[in-house]
Structure 1
């Protein structure tokens, strides 16, 4: 059954059915994925009510506890090192002995005890750590607030639709000998978008080329969520026999996309014979639709033709584990940006563009039309096959095996 049919049979909603199908467990305010990842939902601050900030007392005031607990760089003494320093100091160890134990310079230990020791209680590691974090803040007035002349210059150029980079570079030419009139591109962007400081007029953001009211967030590419929930099997782990093209049953697949990206067809090519099969998708190329269409297309194949399937790392194959379980065909993924690793499929997609031009709507082709195109292509002699047709070569391979 399709997922929608199964959900209807057990009277479940679409979201729950999708979660169950993917092996996702629902927990309080979060979800647990099959690979062990736990995703917590962020609570709406309106629903959560007023929450108090996590503050700690420091010599001379208070400090945000989140800032205290954040690890900046190994060159700063950590809280564990400060606790160790405190214990060694109480045991009577000298500064050089403490430095050797911590792997730090003696001057670092001496400076730490001189700067962060409380006068009444001596050296306390937690108090010292908080004092160090607070000293590291070094708050200062933004340059565009401290220099009204510079602020006027920047605002005037922004109103003339100059970009922050153009303003920054021009300042370097007009005031090359005046450091106070120099400002970086990033400083101008922060003055525009960080409205709490009130550095520049808020409506100046409308003069930028993109005209955004808020800055577009950028994520660390190393912290992005993986494209696939289930771990993928790379092409390097594919059986060596696939490379020889001597045994049938090893396929390459991809999608061809129609006009404006609103329609698609899944294409399958058998590596040894170049035999082509087409899977109907219409206007729905989600991972679930691709999975169901490939299962419908490849399930009738005999066991001898169910070996492997090689695909690129497109999100449409996120349901590869469910497809492999249903068809007994192992799925292997190419390296990123390596279309030559499934060259037969790339070549066949070029031939198929004769039937399905890039500017056409692929939704008009039903299952019967796709089967007719595949039959016509499989009856066309190919130079790579010694001018045999894919249908003839596949039949000969099946007879031989």
Structure 2
């Protein structure tokens, strides 16, 4: 076809056809344009696409061919640019098992299985099992953590795998939109009460108040560090609205046993000293070995406490809450019962004792899923 006939068949003028063929330079407001040949070549030869996140049918055909050639999993993975675990998982999930027990990897059958599993959303394991759903929901209402629930399920239903779930499955059932397997208001029963974690306070913004005659934690007996010997306690305060009320908490390092101290007259150093003395007097002598506290001014009267109870007090380093890890974790659990920003002076000693009893009856991962009360009972019996 001649050049003029080609332009006419396309529906353009000869001059426009020349510009398409040769391109044009910039002139005034007219921008430069490349020749049409460059555009044709870029369309005819597209850049190679990045490998997909998922295996495709061509990948599965390659896997089947190489398996017939007795190639190793790692060799196949290297050829496809995949992880060896991706290839081994693909073969294990999508292989065909014949009636006589022989197993083959058939690429087209594997592709059909993968396509059938892909549609979303899916009903989770909790939504498919009413018994499992009710068990988890009832224990979340008791403020059990998802990890505690999943371990109790494995112990109580040891021979029923359909009743076994991971703690992440429970979190997904609570938080992921579209699942709807557990009531969303049960998130208030979780430790934080929320789905989004907030950033912690910055260490350089904390202010410290020196307490006189402190004995630092570095001088604490070595037996307290390994938690083998009971009787070493960690203590702190949880504060109420506008820091006008407080509850003192005592956590035993070996058993994680909790005692809550009522502070009806505020949390001055004298009030905290007298309340702690009254609380620990009920303990047997072998459970009164030491007390570790932070550098809060509420323990300014620590010397009088030690004289009255014969319990030495050790202080953590500034900005080092991990040195009282058991107590910090316990205070986090207590915020489910005493939310931040509420008036803590309204709680009676009887209510504090009931809350402590409920926490002491929860199984703990660090105690091999025994409760603090069970572990303390064993120690007292021994």
Establish whether TM, by shorter chain, passes 0.5.
Answer: no
Q: Identify the TM-score tier after normalising by the shorter chain.
A: 0.3 to 0.5
TM-score between both structures, scaled by the size of structure 2? 0.45
TM-score between both structures, scaled by the size of structure 1? 0.43
